[in-house]
Amino acid sequence: MTAMEKTWLDVGALDDIPLRGARLVKCAFGCVAVFRTAANEAFALEDLCPHRGGPLSQGIVHGSSVTCPLHNWVIDLNTGEAQGADKGKVKTIPLRIEAGRLLLDLAALGARNAA
């Protein structure tokens, strides 16, 4: 096995997520929210708002941002950083799209626990 095969994990198809929506990937370390934007880009972030731990996967996706459903923090999906006056950062997880499949870097997930 190559390192590549070990790290990138197929979690589903891009089309399984609605446009401007998100779905969850459950794993041992918690939940990862996988977002799909109107422009058909995908992003993976920890499903945990830096403010009060709200489930970002339940928010409204607009542009390449998501608004947390609990208190309307806006998180940039590229960087995981809170926008505007709010300060905070969500952990982002490397994600690739290959032939319409979503591949997550599982090692990065594990790193969260190690950190």
Partner 1 sequence: MGEKLVVIGNGMAPGRALDRLFEAAPGAYEVTIFNAEPRVNYDRIMLSPLLSGEKSFEEIIIHGDGWYVKHGVLLYKGHKVVAIDRAAKTVTAASGVTATYDKLIIATGSVPIVLPVPGNTLAGVLTYRDLDDVQAMLLAAKSRGKAVVIGGGLLGLEAAAGLKEQGMEVTVLHLMPTLMERQLDVTAGHLLQRTVEARGIRVITKANTQAILGETKVEAVRLDDGTEIPADLVVMAAGIRPNAGLAKEAGLAVKRGIVVDATMRTSDPDVFAVGECAEAQGECYGLVAPLYEMANVVAAQLAGEAGARFTASATATKLKVTGINLFSAGDFAEGKDREEIVLRDAARGVYRRLVLEDDRVIGAVLYGDTSDSAWFFDLLRRQTDISEIRETLIFGPSYVGGPPLDPTAAVAALPDEAEICGCNGVCKGKIVAAISGHGLKTLDDVRAHTKASASCGSCTGLVEQLMRATLGEAYNPAAVQPMCSCTSLGHDDVRRLIVAKALKSIPDLMQALEWKTSCGCARCRPALNYYLLATWPGEYQDDSQSRFINERVHANIQKDGTYSVVPRMWGGITSAKELRAIADVVEKFKIATVKVTGGQRIDMLGVNKEDLPAVWADLNQAGMVSGHAYAKGLRTVKTCVGTDWCRFGTQDSTGLGIKIEKFMWGSWTPAKVKMAVSGCPRNCAEATCKDVGVICVESGYDIHFAGAAGLDIKGTEVLGHVDSEAEAIEVIAALVQLYREQGRYLERIYKWAKRVGIDTIREQIMQDRERRTGLYGRFVHSQKFAQADPWAERVRGKDAHEFRPLADLNRAEAAE
Q: Pick from 3, 39, 99, 114 the residue near partner 1 by CB under 8 A.
A: 39
Instruction: By CB under 8 A, tell whether 55 contacts partner 1.
Output: yes
Instruction: By CB under 8 A, tell whether 79 contacts partner 1.
Output: no
Instruction: By CB under 8 A, tell whether 24 contacts partner 1.
Output: yes
Instruction: By CB under 8 A, tell whether 107 contacts partner 1.
Output: no
Count Cβ atoms below 10 Å from residue 111 Cβ, excluding itself: 13
CB 64 to partner 1: min, Å: 9
Cα–Cα separations (whole angstroms), residue 29 to 71, 80, 111: 24, 18, 10
Tracing tokens 């950083």 back to the chain, one arrives at 81
- Residue 113 phi/psi, 5-degree rounding, is -65, -40
**Spatial distance between the Cα atoms of 40 and 20, rounded to a whole number of angstroms:** 8
Hey, which residues does 102 pair with through a beta bridge? Answer: 12, 97
CB 84 to partner 1: min, Å: 10
Q: Which is nearer to partner 1, 70 or 79 (by Cβ)? A: 70
Instruction: By CB under 8 A, tell whether 61 contacts partner 1.
Output: yes
Q: What is the DSSP letter of 57?
A: G
Residues that bind partner 1 (CB under 8 A): 9, 11-12, 16-21, 23-28, 31, 34, 38-39, 52, 54-55, 58-63, 65, 67, 69-70, 72, 74, 102, 106
